[in-house]
Structure 1
């Protein structure tokens, strides 16, 4: 797996580094560690540029050296790069050049009110990347013993499971597959929501069965796997609630993305989970690697194959 690790030396970035180290202990990972400084050429006429450049180079060299020292024993290969420019486009461009499978970076909170919101860099990279992205929040563990999988039977969610099942994790890992039966509302007039339409067992059961089938496939390797089918008005909120209930370390969701001026943007469920999750979030875009003709059955086969070879 080719991983781009973006770091700025912060606490959350160091957590991201430790997470990559833990994943690399049992998985073949080639990692490129990147730090990005703004381009001093934009301020070339300022008298402080030479001194700033010298200090920034020394600071960045130490960050990269520390990351390499941490990752060298576990990873197949470790490359380090100090780049300059606008942080988000530089990270995204570097990921394209490397043909990275996964971008890993830390989440930075910027609000003390309610749930911590993602910093602009993490949010923008996760929203616009063309590959999968793991946004790491600091935790008592850098492993993922408790994982919530958002699953809706789409190709994106099936491919997300297939991508994740390619990893080797602890056999005791607990996975909760959450397939949400979305509660529909009747809209009357401008933005007014009338009484919800009640879902009956005959409507919920097909959703429940798809979640159970996926959970049974995962359980062939990770025996502590179970499925849940909550009825909720918002899919993302239900996934986050389940993560809170089991004190999850990671939420896995597949993102279909939509094309906007050549870039992918997050769907509403992925964006909600990313911004409200109490734990790290893995947004999978593994489905973008399949051919345009890929079908749901193709994805099902890939999940089965990944489970069989794990």
Structure 2
């Protein structure tokens, strides 16, 4: 990990996101950009819009400065160089644009809770970022991680065709107390209609892939447990596992599709993001590193 973009707005969710990021034990120094985006509400009277917008923006900037100072204090002693950004505009869109401009490897955002409404909407900001960002995204749901006297529970939903999630987890030197689970889900469609011998070969390949993942993670996570499950709905099985094991962070991988210039949020990742009770880390290659499409308009807006 080289450059992380952290979105904050002073809410419990965003401060929990900052707290979690500050405690990830990265072995080498990294760059952190902390962004507070101020969204100007729509105004009924266009004649007073400029005056009201400017006053609103100035007021919010004072509060934003306090939030940024609070977040920076969370990283005292960490191996990180911090830059702060206060900007205005549609929050989700601006975060994606800033992520592209700075070449972010990871964007960290807070999410709303798990009410029926928020499970549908997730939070327009986190949903927009998770869908449109050109890099990995960590969506943090408020949980009492820092208030509990128990190890952190991480689960990586392993897919051999999306290895970046594995590499990102392997980049972190997890505490010896961290409990890391690697889960692979065998869809019924891959084995239910096969002959017994063919089915055994399919299961054997999944088990071999899990063993490869264990070997790659053994140096950074001493306490690893491997799990192979079967379910017609892969996302449903991942969420069920997270609920039963009280997982704190679920890690899922994304792959690029059809040579598109950006990623589309896959059905499994979207299901997990909408239904998991915990934070979700979506691992994908940072396309913005080599993206020639960052427009001058984005660069000018960042310079404001």
The two structures have a TM-score, normalised by structure 2, of: 0.81
Q: Does 1:240 align with 2:239?
A: yes
Q: Which residue of 2 aligns with 1:303?
A: none
Q: Report deviation, 1:284.
A: 0.7
Q: Report deviation, 1:171.
A: 2.1
Matches within 5 A, 1:128-277: 128-141=132-145, 145-154=152-161, 156=162, 158-184=163-189, 197=193, 200=196, 201-202=199-200, 203-258=202-257, 262-277=261-276
Return closer, same or farther for 1:50/1:76 CA change in 2, 3 Å cut-off.
Answer: closer
CA contact (8 A) 1:38 1:87 kept: yes
Q: Report deviation, 1:67.
A: 1.6
CA distance in structure 2 between the partners assigned to 1:30 and 1:254 by the alignment: 23
When the two chains are superposed, the root-mean-square deviation of aligned CA atoms in Å is 3.0
Q: Which residue of 2 aligns with 1:97?
A: 101
Return closer, same or farther for 1:72/1:151 CA change in 2, 3 Å cut-off.
Answer: same
Matches within 5 A, 1:44-83: 45-46=48-49, 48-83=52-87
Q: Deviations over 1:84-127 (max 9, x none)?
A: 11212211111111111111110113744695752111011011
CA distance in structure 2 between the partners assigned to 1:52 and 1:85 by the alignment: 13
Secondary structure, counterpart of 1:17 in structure 2: helix
Return closer, same or farther for 1:12/1:27 CA change in 2, 3 Å cut-off.
Answer: farther
CA contact (8 A) 2:155 2:242 kept: yes
Q: Which residue of 1 aligns with 2:29?
A: 28
Return closer, same or farther for 1:74/1:235 CA change in 2, 3 Å cut-off.
Answer: same
CA contact (8 A) 1:134 1:283 kept: yes
The two structures have a TM-score, normalised by structure 1, of: 0.79
CA contact (8 A) 1:179 1:229 kept: yes
CA distance in structure 1 between the partners assigned to 2:92 and 2:155 by the alignment: 28
Once the two structures are overlaid, the 10-residue window that deviates more, 244-253 or 205-214, is 205-214
CA contact (8 A) 2:99 2:107 kept: yes
Unpaired stretches in structure 1, ≥5 consecutive residues: 186-195, 292-310
Secondary structure, counterpart of 2:24 in structure 1: helix
CA contact (8 A) 1:131 1:284 kept: yes
Q: Report deviation, 1:25.
A: 7.2
CA distance in structure 2 between the partners assigned to 1:101 and 1:163 by the alignment: 10
Once the two structures are overlaid, the 10-residue window that deviates more, 247-256 or 16-25, is 16-25
CA distance in structure 1 between the partners assigned to 2:125 and 2:8 by the alignment: 11
Secondary structure, counterpart of 2:241 in structure 1: helix
Q: Report deviation, 1:19.
A: 1.2
CA contact (8 A) 2:5 2:33 kept: yes
Q: Report deviation, 1:14.
A: 0.5
Secondary structure, counterpart of 2:86 in structure 1: strand
CA contact (8 A) 1:130 1:264 kept: yes
CA distance in structure 2 between the partners assigned to 1:45 and 1:261 by the alignment: 43
CA distance in structure 1 between the partners assigned to 2:79 and 2:279 by the alignment: 21
Secondary structure, counterpart of 2:23 in structure 1: helix
